[in-house]
Chains A and B, each alone.
Chain A
Amino acid sequence: DVKVTQSSRYLVKRTGEKVFLECVQDMDHENMFWYRQDPGLGLRLIYFSYDVKMKEKGDIPEGYSVSREKKERFSLILESASTNQTSMYLCASGPGRLDTEAFFGQGTRLTVV
C-alpha cells in the first residue's frame, strides 16, 4: 500500500514562528502536493512539485514556501506563522504527470496562537 506520512498529527505554534510541515511518501512518486482544508472552503491547493527541486504555485501560495530536496520528501514552510494559517494541512503524492490518482496523508492540524 502507498504510504504518505506527515510528521505531526497536531501542532500548536505561536504567531511569527517559522513552521515546517514534513511529508514523506514511500512509493517513488514524482508528484507531491500540499493542500489546506478549512470548513466551508474545502481543500485548496497551496503548492505542488513534479520533480526534485521543482515547485509550482497552487491556488493559495501566499505566506507559504516549499522545499523538495529529495524525491520522497516534500516540506511546507510557513515563514512567519499567522493566526489565519490555522488549518488542516494535507499532503498528497501521485505517480507522475500522466497519472493523477493522488494518495493523501492523514493531515496535520495546525493551530497558530
Chain B
Amino acid sequence: DAKTTQPTSMDCAEGRAANLPCNHSTISGNEYVYWYRQIHSQGPQYIIHGLKNNETNEMASLIITEDRKSSTLILPHATLRDTAVYYCIVRVRGADGLTFGKGTHLIIQP
C-alpha cells in the first residue's frame, strides 16, 4: 500500500469548513483513497473513499488532485462532535486489512 503523509494536528472553528490534507505521492493507478475517523474511546468510523473523481456523501467530500498524488477531506460545517483523529489510507480495493498511519488530530474550537 502507498504511504500517506498527514499533518499531526489541526484546529478549525465550529461552523466552518474543515479541510484535511493528505499526501500520497507514490499512489498506484489501482489504489483507492479511504478516510476513516476515530472519536476518543470509540472504534474507527468509515467516512468516504474514492479513486479518481471527487466524491461526496452525507458526512464529507473528498477532493482528489488530477495527478492523484494528494487529496483533501472536507467537512463542510464542522461541529464539536467532529473532533477526532482522521486517517487517510491508500490501498487496493479488495485487499486484505487496512493499514492505519498516525492520522490528523482535528480539534474543533467553539
| A70 on the B face (CB < 8 A) | no
- For the complex, give the distance between the alpha carbons of A33 and B98 in Å: 9
Please provide the chain B residues from 56 to 110 with a CB less than 8 Å away from any CB of chain A in the complex. Answer: 91, 93-103
Which residue among B98, B99, B101 has the maximum number of chain A CB atoms within 10 Å of its CB?
B98
Overall SS of chain B's interface: loop
Question: Are B91 and A105 in contact, CB atoms less than 8 angstroms apart?
Answer: no
Size category of the B interface is 20 to 34
Size category of the A interface is 20 to 34
| B53 on the A face (CB < 8 A) | no
Question: Are B100 and A100 in contact, CB atoms less than 8 angstroms apart?
Answer: no
Beyond A4-B43, A42-B103, A104-B43, 20 additional contacts (C-beta under 8 Å) are A31-B96, A42-B100, A43-B44, A43-B98, A45-B98, A45-B99, A48-B96, A56-B96, A58-B97, A92-B44, A92-B98, A98-B94, A99-B94, A100-B93, A100-B94, A101-B34, A101-B49, A102-B44, A102-B98, A106-B42
Interface residues of A (CB under 8 A from B): 4, 31, 33, 42-43, 45, 48, 50, 56, 58-59, 90, 92, 97-107
Give the top 9 A-B pairs by smallest Cβ distance, nearest first.
A104-B43, A43-B100, A45-B97, A98-B94, A101-B46, A104-B44, A42-B100, A97-B94, A90-B43
